[in-house]
Structure 1
């Protein structure tokens, strides 16, 4: 059987979180860099499909290919380590500290950002023919996305910030579900199927993913979007990072840890008995 029971993959989640805390700086940065770059390529791919076909659902259906590739190659996204690493701290694994957890998060953020920025520059060159022409239709679309998801939130004030935060929470609820779903199977097709479904949901519903946005918004600025780096960080990236942390840790990591890794004893458990007659006599008492 390729399916792994929840109690087993919950233990794998804690083990994975522990391993990431002790990973070397070089390996953490390289894996995060590649994860950010691949996810950025997948975002460019999905937007290109949406623009060329006029069908957002088709773009969302195909976006998870990037997530599956980076996961199967063992690369790390900030959204994933937000969910997994704290579990090793909760479990009091030897040597796992708050400082070690924050170190991992900081390194993965930097690696993801560098990878996404690399692809942002490359795609901006492609969309403008080496910055010699105005952005093509896909480049224009990316610029509009950046404006609507920074200045659009800012125009709504507190309500916009709340909406942004909730979209970020919902995003990593789905994305981290994909990370965990990959642990439910030992086969590559099983892992891909498990990852594909929640990633499709997050992308089609337009939730806010901190690493995807590391590509979209710098790209938008380079491609002529009428918003600033300050708009991007204040009205998207920083609240999105916080929301992603809350969503992944609360609704995925914390819930699975509480009910499958630290399951409570069953209520009214049937006692160890010889036969049903003995059980009936005990129940009568």
Structure 2
């Protein structure tokens, strides 16, 4: 057999959470940076294929390639850390504290932001020939998408904030399942399939992902989109981060932990 049972996967999840908490700051930032770079390039591939084909679902089909690559390389997204790192604390692993959990979230998130901003700037240079020509069709797609999900939410007020928050919950429910999928098989092919399915769902349904948005919105602003940093933070990134924490932790990792690591007594015993 090349797959693991759910109870074995959950133990791997707890071990992974503990390992992240005990990882050096340098490695957390480095792995986060590389994850941000790779995931951002996957967004570019997805948007480019959508523009070329005119079919949104095609972008969703190709986007998971970036997630699979970064996961197989052992790089870290803060969205996965939102779900996994607290499990080590819940399981009372020695030396694990809530301060350690927050440390992982902070340093991995910083690395993700650094990687995303690097790629955003370089892609902006590429799409505009070093800012010497007008944005092409792909660049216009980035401008439209980033504007709709920042200024568009701001125009809706509290309803827009809640919409972003709910989409972020669903997003990290799927993304953490993708992270867990990498632990579900002994073969690369099995891991890729298990990761591809939930990541496809999140992108196809246009849910809100913290690291994707660390790239998409700065790129939109660099290309000339009509919104500012405050709008992005208040009506996208902040509700996205909060929603991703709720989705990854409460909707994915805690249920698995409770039913497979802290299993209730069998009926009749």
TM-score with structure 2 length normalisation? 0.99
Question: 1:166 is paired with a residue of what secondary structure?
Answer: helix
**Equivalent runs, 1:224-235 vs 2, <5 Å:** 224-235=224-235
**Alignment partners' CA distance in 2, 1:261 and 1:35:** 29
Shift of 1:268: 2.0
**Alignment partners' CA distance in 2, 1:14 and 1:174:** 18
Question: 2:182 is paired with a residue of what secondary structure?
Answer: helix
Q: Name the counterpart of 1:146.
A: 146
**Alignment partners' CA distance in 2, 1:110 and 1:103:** 11
**Equivalent runs, 1:82-121 vs 2, <5 Å:** 82-121=82-121
Q: Is 2:34 the counterpart of 1:34? A: yes
Q: Is 2:203 the counterpart of 1:203? A: yes
**Consecutive unaligned residues in structure 2, runs of 5 or more:** none
Q: Name the counterpart of 2:258.
A: 258
**Alignment partners' CA distance in 2, 1:28 and 1:150:** 29
Q: Is 2:169 the counterpart of 1:173? A: no
**Consecutive unaligned residues in structure 1, runs of 5 or more:** 270-285
**Equivalent runs, 1:272-283 vs 2, <5 Å:** none
Query: Which moves more between the two structures, 260-269 or 198-207?
Result: 260-269
**Alignment partners' CA distance in 1, 2:114 and 2:134:** 25
Shift of 1:146: 1.0
Tell me, yes or no, if the aligned pair for 2:162 and 2:239 is still in contact at 8 Å: no
TM-score with structure 1 length normalisation? 0.93
Question: 2:211 is paired with a residue of what secondary structure?
Answer: helix
Task: Mark the structure with the bigger radius of gyration.
Answer: 1
Following TM superposition, the consecutive aligned residue runs of length 4 or more in structure 1 with deviations greater than 4 angstroms are none
Count of aligned pairs? 269
